[in-house]
Structure 1
Amino acid sequence: MGASPARRNGTPAPCVRDTGRVTVVGHVRHAPGRTVAGRHHSWGNVMSASLSHPSPAGTGPGSVPKPPHSLAERRGWAWAGIVTALGGLVAFVASTPLYPFEDSDLIDNARMVDRLDGPAMWWVFVLQVTFTATALAAVVFGAGLRRRLDRQSPAGSLVPATAYLGMLLVGVMSLVGSGMGTELFHNLRMSDKTDPDTIIADFADINTYGWVWSGLLLTAAALVVAAFRQGAVSRWIGVVSLIFGFLLLVTQLTPFQYMALFVGVPYLLILGAGFAFGRGRAIE
């Protein structure tokens, strides 16, 4: 009377076994004098082993793949833009002692050379080193800007390459200024053996070529398109680029192309700081 319905009907009674990791429920068939439960015990061990040693993520059936690992964007290239701007500022400061002339001296190159003292040669050397560092930093900034725009601009866009080529032109003109510095340094070192007309001509060149940052027009135009048409950079960068791009255009449409350095220094300082301290993006 006390037997369960399953026992009375000959149905195997449910056997509940706790393996320590998973509870196994099965049916065992009772025979006279023994219980057949070994098979269920082995199956429970298999289940326990599979749960205690799961398949590596992303390799087994039903596994969950690991999300891609994102890296913070490196910003050294943005600091190169700041270095470029500071290089232009140093070039302007170093050029100031190289103009000790009075209006009455301008008609006689020999008199102008006599106005130059010993330190003038070393100020020229400072200019040479500054223009070289500025050129290298400009190219690095342009390369980093291109990489940044490549990830954000539509495929096949000319914006990244245009922005880079603008900075490349800045680097080229800075290297030209550096070369003129080398020439002027040696002419001043041997001023007693050098034609004064040659020395003064070199002064005009070093204060012109290295300052013609006309290539920034391309970079500014590219960033305007990237900001307002593609959404590849912040809109405030587009506004800044539009303003400074217009000022750069004015310097190039007038006989004051060397004034591009005065426009380019604050522009690159703002751009470099914006990319260096602005919100970073993950590298995809």
Structure 2
Amino acid sequence: MTTTSAADVSVADPGTGKKTAAWAATGILAGLAGVVAIQASSGVSAVYDEDTAGDPGAIVARLTDQRTFILVEHIAMTVSALALLVFAAGLARLLRERLGSDSILPGVAAGGLVATSAVCLIGTGLTTELVFGLSEGSDLVPEFAVVAGHWFGTIPWLWAAAGVSALAVAAASLRHGSVARWLGWTSLVLGGLTALFGISPLQYMAGFTGPFWVLVCATGLWITGRKQTA
């Protein structure tokens, strides 16, 4: 089987750059929205604050004041989840074109992002119950608010599968030269950290590195795609 190098691909199809730029831009949106969502999630802190932790009534009152953070987290994380699906498809196509149909790396790269998208959507699943439940006159059970507060502070942070996608990109770069080497090394470091965080008891730390890798990877591929059409 003939192996196509990254240099050959970069000039083989004049339309490739334009196509790459389109879906990579969606990846930039996914990464940026993910970063925003994680930061907003840090503001939903009622169940962790020292002066409210362990007191359901106080947690409900604090969560009521933090509804803006909940809404920002919901919107940003949902945008990220939906955009990840487009980015996953584009990344898989790019790697398949450059590695051939026999390689499992395109499927692994896409699969990790699809899994991450599903986790992000599940992570926003209690938004309606919590936001409207915290409205005036609601019969929201305080104990449920405690569970929901922990949900918002944990589930959306489970980006470990994105680390597997990053490692697939790293392998595609460093072993096969299918994308820029700087992106390969970056993906190896961020992907390794994200996956290891997910495996360890510090699993929620993957929420910091996973979205950042998506942002960096998509930005790199977007710039490359723009250069190919220049």
Q: Please indicate the TM-score interval, normalised by the length of the shorter structure.
A: 0.7 to 0.9
- Structure (1 or 2) with the greater strand fraction: 1
C-alpha distance after superposition, 1:87-146 (max 9, x if no partner): 12211332344225641421211122223345x334322222212111111111111001
Which of the pair is proportionally richer in helix? Answer: 2
Distance 1:93 1:228, change over 3 A: closer
User: Offset at 1:190?
Assistant: 6.0
Secondary structure in 1 matching 2:159: coil
The answer to whether residue 54 in structure 2 is matched with residue 107 in structure 1 is yes
Matched, 1:154 2:112: no
Q: Residue 52 of structure 2 aligns to a residue in which SS?
A: helix
Partners of 1:127 and 1:191 in 2: CA distance:
24
TM-score where L is the length of structure 1: 0.69
Q: How many pairs does the alignment contain?
A: 214
- Structure 1, unpaired ranges of 5+: 1-67
Match 1:208 to one of 138, 154, 157:
154
Name the residue aligned to 1:26. none
Once residues 92 and 13 of structure 2 are traced to their aligned partners in structure 1, the CA distance between those partners, rounded to angstroms, is: 23
- Partner residue in 1 for 2:215: 269
Superposed, which structure 2 residues align to 1:129-140 within 5 Å?
129-140=75-86
Shift of 1:203: 0.9
TM-score between both structures, scaled by the size of structure 2? 0.84
The structure-2 alpha-carbon separation of the partners of 1:69 and 1:128, relative to structure 1 and needing over 3 Å to count, comes to closer
> Which has the higher relative contact order, 1 or 2, with Cα contacts under 8 A spaced 6 or more apart?
2
Residue 87 (structure 1) aligned with residue 33 (structure 2) = yes
Mapped partners of 1:125, 1:165: distance in 2: 28
What is the aligned-residue identity percentage?
Answer: 29
Cα distance in structure 1, aligned partners of 2:50 and 2:109:
42
Contact 1:127 1:181 in 2 (8 A): no
- Within 5 A, what are the aligned runs for 1:1-284? 70-73=14-17, 74=19, 75-99=21-45, 102-118=49-65, 120-189=66-135, 192-278=138-224
Partners of 1:159 and 1:278 in 2: CA distance: 20
In the alignment, the residues of structure 2 paired with residue 124 and residue 262 of structure 1 have an alpha-carbon distance, to the nearest angstrom, of 18
- The residue type paired with residue 217 of structure 2 is L
Shift in Å at residue 149 of structure 1? Answer: 0.6
Check 1:109–1:76 CA distance in 2 against 1; reply closer, same or farther (3 A cut): same
Q: Secondary structure at the match of 2:201?
A: coil
Q: Which runs of 4+ in 1 moved over 4 A?
A: 279-282
Relative distance call for 1:82 and 1:196 in structure 2 (3 A) is same
Q: For residue 89 of structure 1, what is the amino acid of its counterpart?
A: V
**Could you give the per-residue CA deviations for residues 181-229 of structure 1, whole angstroms, max 9, x where no partner exists?**
2232232226741111100110111221111111112211211221122
> How far does residue 69 in structure 1 lie from its aligned partner after superposition?
7.9
Q: Provide structure 2 residue ranges, at least 5 long, that are not aligned to the other structure.
A: 1-11
Aligned-residue Cα RMSD (Å) equals 2.2
Work out which of the two has the higher radius of gyration on C-alpha atoms and give 1 or 2: 1
Q: Which amino acid aligns with 1:99?
A: S
